[in-house]
Structure 1
Amino acid sequence: MSRTLTRSVDELPGDPARLYFSYSHGHPAEQWEDEDTLECWHVAITYGLPGDEDEAEAGGDEDSGLPEQPAPGASVGGIMLYRLRDVTGRDRWQVADAHSGDLEVIASAVFSRKHGTYAKAFDKAVEMPVGDLLILDRVRLDKAWRGFGLGPLCAAEAIRRLSGGCCAVAAYPAMSEYPGNRDEVTEDYRQRAKTKIAALWESIGFRPFRRGVWLLDTALREPDDLLRACQEDLQKLSAAYREHRGR
């Protein structure tokens, strides 16, 4: 595998090729003024689907001493993304600011405060700066599934499905989880965590923009090539896991 794993294959809780992505976006029947401009998308990551007969064989082997695998449909993690839609008559910066501070940080780097359009720096950074903006807010995997290079793959797959009509994808690498002892979170700890997260996003095509914001240019071929590399790594990881399980 081309990616460096921080954990061994025998620590995998299940076959990574069986991860399943479900996409959802909801809104109330009574419209609110910003709903056409800001869409929130959630991607649920599960181990197959409930009732999947192919997954039902995933139990542990008592004779071999191998651990039991997750039940079909068991939650593995999730991804949160936002789509800021263009040409709705609303100022996307203001809409993002009203929703959360994290989105405002990205909006302040991407949009012009004076005109509400894309900033000149963004126009220069993106090949075709026309269309919607997709924001990768956070990617969460259960601890049992971390350390195998699956986070970037999950993010890249979600971006592939949801970035149609978007000229770029923005992300702001920041800590989303904290240790039990908050005293451990020094500024150095925070910076090392952000650097690690940024490296993961860089591996699927994000590049530093400004003010801590990173951009993925959807017009470039590179993100597609990097996604294919992730998919190849997934196949190799799955094959190694199956070999370990004796299948």
Structure 2
Amino acid sequence: MISPKRSVDDLPGDPRRLNLEYRSWHFVSSEGDRQGLDEWHVSVWANRFLDRPKWSATKTVQDDIGSMRFFRLRMDDRFSPFPFADAESYDTGLSNLVLGVYDLGGGGYRQEFRDAMTCPDGDLLVLFDVRLEEAWRGFGLGPILASEAIWHLADGCSAVATGTHPWESVGFRRHVSPLGHLLDPGSGEARALRDERRRDLDALADAYRESLRRGRPRRP
């Protein structure tokens, strides 16, 4: 269980009312398909109720409180790692993550990667960056949200790589160079940690509602 650094009384809203929106797009051409790359933007929304006159319908609004960005690299004959070496087109950090597990000479994954993963023949998912509004930080929500997004997008992936926030509580483990931080979706440990983060969310939400029952003023 993750221990929050801040009091639950400081939570801006109910954690159970958070939701994730997934967006991806590509150009309508054969070029995009041959690239073998999917970019995903995940928005984090907080639902809240607006105060309404008695007997009127309740109105709900959504606040944008964070985001995550993922890249899914399809390991088939469409994928080439070379575009990631171009710093003008792609961030060098992303290039290093991809080239760390990909064998430029032989093609496919490095042998070190194949030896380390449970099922080394799937795609590679990269957690590239994470943003969360300051008011929502310090409660352990970062790993909870990242875990949910990872498991939603990682179906069919052999691994998840990251160069940012390598949370051990989500399942990322440091491997010898050049592999870096990887999460193995096929491992029992990673699946168990996903369930733990969901229990963390339930515990945080229960504590938030208890703080309201104690008389904490509801935030606007």
- CA deviations 1:162-218 (Å, max 9, x no partner) are 001101001113xxxxxxxxxxxxxxxxxxxxxxx33xx111111012247200011
Deviation at 1:139, TM superposition (A): 1.3
1:32 match: secondary structure: helix
Contact 1:38 1:95 in 2 (8 A): no
- Is there any run of 5+ residues in structure 1 with no aligned partner, and where? 49-54, 60-70, 174-196
Supply the AA of the counterpart residue of 1:56: F
Structure-to-structure mapping, 1:92-241, within 5 angstroms? 93-98=81-86, 99-173=90-164, 197-198=165-166, 201-209=167-175, 210-211=177-178, 213-241=180-208
Structure-2 change in CA distance of 1:150 and 1:136 (3 Å): same
1:224 match: secondary structure: helix
Structure-2 change in CA distance of 1:9 and 1:33 (3 Å): closer
Supply the AA of the counterpart residue of 1:16: P
Q: Which residue of 1 aligns with 2:56?
A: none
Q: How many residues align?
A: 203
Q: Which residue of 1 aligns with 2:16?
A: 17
Distance 1:204 1:223 in 2: 7
Q: Tell me the TM-score normalised to structure 2 length.
A: 0.85
2:31 match: secondary structure: coil
Distance 2:42 2:77 in 1: 25
Distance 1:129 1:39 in 2: 19
Supply the AA of the counterpart residue of 2:49: A
Q: Which residue of 2 aligns with 1:56?
A: 49
Q: Tell me the TM-score normalised to structure 1 length.
A: 0.76
Question: Could you tell me the percent identity over the aligned residues?
Answer: 37
Establish whether residue 90 from structure 1 lines up as the match of residue 79 from structure 2. Answer: yes
Q: Which residue of 1 aligns with 2:54?
A: none
Deviation at 1:33, TM superposition (A): 4.9
Higher share of residues assigned helix: 1
